[in-house]
Structure 1
């Protein structure tokens, strides 16, 4: 038995577990002013009137209405369910095509992440942009699609990277399902809305909400792996996903210390169990030889 050779490995694993436990305890320490014994002023959490009803409410697992009726950039009547196919998660962005700034920032952020990942829209996943402005036309959708597909620079097939329009009632059902709030502002004659993208499973359930206007390639890739539930990505991608979880506050995937602790503890137990079993067998063999 080569116990001395295995001792450094066991020590290293134990150190990993200890570090993970320390990180978990450190992350659990209260950081608020009241917890530190500092008197804090009461915080007014009331939203300004201008911001009411335009946030994004995280609703993981929400069922999307498959029968939402829309028209694509070619004028064809489509339903949301037409974009849900086995093995292909869907990235959904709610935007409007005459938006002066924010919608373009979100679309550009998603496009940049799409260009950086090796996966291609239409092959491993689908990309769907839905206008929530009933004034948007099929022609505007076609122009937007031409612009972004050209910038994407890859061949995309049918219903791989679509821009669609719909009436208020249908689009509102989709927006409510994913928790996307928006409203018309008479003063500016524009829509007030939040910024984000939604990653949907092939079965039509909301898997992950990505907030903001910038989306690192790693965030989009892991969100697609998570939504694909084993149908997309490599074994390494799934191992990485196990070690990370999405944190809305950070706007990305962060180390899941409790998973590392559990995995490290399991590996340590297995190694120690294996060593004890070998030691026990060696002892029994020695006893038999002696007798």
Structure 2
């Protein structure tokens, strides 16, 4: 009986862990994101800002930072990623330039400062709150530095023709350039971003909490909020109830067996 219970528990744990398992199997893929939580980005990497000046990464990342890898002529998700990023930093309950900053790095080594300057102008113009220009940096670079930083961040992409196949998401980085958290996709909400920045400020990396939230809650991109995932929660309660009932039957059977022995 104990063996049966053990096997059932093992199966259920596998079901609950399935998303994490499938993600682990996809690590180090040609195109995708491999979380490098706790790793540090090399501060000596050099890029050009939108003014055309050479800057080191250590000079750019001085505050909790939201890092986005895109390319400015992207016909796909990049524009949506930056649009959503602009939307959320315009509303997050932290002060831009003081509590956090934003960093966008092009993965296309053919793009230059002129292109990044135009992109910076376009997205800053969409912001409603007071947002210092210095709080959102747009960088371009050569293929070596781009390859180095994307590999360090676990951001893998591939050039196909004139386009780049790449994942979507942003990364929170501490002032010491420590990778703190990943937010996947291109739809962001204030809660996720605020928590990611606070974690970055504290130098924390705690993906377990995020995975638990994702299990219990479902994100609604239209309402930009989390709602309880009733199906998962009731499913978990039901399974716990089944295990409890099986355990009760087993214990009762064992007690009855002892009583019969003593008669």
TM-score, normalised to structure 2's length?
0.68
1:173 is matched with: 148
Q: Is the 8 A contact 1:66 1:204 kept in 2?
A: yes
Instruction: Check 1:81–1:90 CA distance in 2 against 1; reply closer, same or farther (3 A cut).
Output: same
For 2:53 and 2:183, how far apart are their aligned partners in 1?
29
For structure 1, the 5+ residue unaligned runs are: 1-25, 34-42, 231-237, 256-291
For 1:200 and 1:228, how far apart are their aligned partners in 2?
8
Instruction: Check 1:254–1:89 CA distance in 2 against 1; reply closer, same or farther (3 A cut).
Output: farther
For 1:61 and 1:225, how far apart are their aligned partners in 2?
15
1:247 match: secondary structure: helix
1:289 is matched with: none
For 1:190 and 1:174, how far apart are their aligned partners in 2?
20
Could you say which structure has the larger radius of gyration?
A: 1
Q: Is the 8 A contact 2:49 2:140 kept in 1?
A: yes
TM-score, normalised to structure 1's length?
0.62
- Aligned with 1:107 (options 59, 82, 92): 82
- Aligned with 2:64 (options 59, 64, 89): 89
Matched, 1:201 2:174: yes
Instruction: Check 1:155–1:249 CA distance in 2 against 1; reply closer, same or farther (3 A cut).
Output: closer
For structure 2, the 5+ residue unaligned runs are: 1-8, 17-21, 220-225, 229-263
Instruction: Check 1:157–1:113 CA distance in 2 against 1; reply closer, same or farther (3 A cut).
Output: closer
Instruction: Check 1:193–1:56 CA distance in 2 against 1; reply closer, same or farther (3 A cut).
Output: same
Instruction: Check 1:254–1:211 CA distance in 2 against 1; reply closer, same or farther (3 A cut).
Output: farther
For 1:247 and 1:132, how far apart are their aligned partners in 2?
28
- Aligned with 2:50 (options 73, 83, 107): 73
Q: Deviations over 1:216-245 (max 9, x none)?
A: 110000111111118xxxxxxx9xx99x82
Q: Is the 8 A contact 1:83 1:90 kept in 2?
A: no
Q: Is the 8 A contact 1:120 1:154 kept in 2?
A: no
For 2:31 and 2:126, how far apart are their aligned partners in 1?
29
Matched, 1:56 2:6: no
Deviation at 1:53, TM superposition (A): 0.8
Deviation at 1:32, TM superposition (A): 3.5
1:119 is matched with: 94
For 1:202 and 1:179, how far apart are their aligned partners in 2?
19
Instruction: Check 1:74–1:155 CA distance in 2 against 1; reply closer, same or farther (3 A cut).
Output: farther
Deviation at 1:249, TM superposition (A): 9.2
1:152 is matched with: 127
**Paired residues for 1:3-18 under 5 Å:** none
- Aligned with 1:247 (options 211, 224, 230): 211
**Paired residues for 1:250-265 under 5 Å:** 250=214
Deviation at 1:157, TM superposition (A): 3.4
Q: Deviations over 1:11-69 (max 9, x none)?
A: xxxxxxxxxxxxxxx9x944649xxxxxxxxx9x998xxx9511000110011010110
